[in-house]
Amino acid sequence: MTTASAAVTPPTDDAPEMDAREAERPVLESPAYPAFLRVLSVVIVVDVVALALWSLPALRAATWSAGSLAVLGLAGVGVVWMGVWVVRSRTRLDGDVLSQTWLWNRRAHAGEVVQLKLVHWAPLQKVIAPRLLVKRRNGAIGWFQSADPALLTAFAQRVGEHAGRAMLPRA
pLDDT in tens, the chain (171 residues): 555 554 444 444 544 455 555 557 789 999 999 999 999 999 999 999 999 999 999 988 988 899 998 999 999 999 999 999 999 999 999 999 999 998 889 999 999 999 999 998 888 888 889 999 999 999 999 999 999 999 999 999 999 988 877 666 665
Q: What is the pLDDT, as a whole number, of residue 170? A: 64
Indicate the class that CATH gives domain 2-33+90-167.
Answer: mainly beta
Measured distance CA(38)–CA(151) in Å, rounded: 19
On whether the pTM is more than 0.85, the answer is: no
Gyration radius from the chain CA atoms:
21
67: Cα separation from own chain's centroid: 33
Measured distance CA(72)–CA(44) in Å, rounded: 17
Q: What is the pLDDT, as a whole number, of residue 126? A: 85
Taking the alpha carbons at both ends of the chain, their separation in whole angstroms is 43
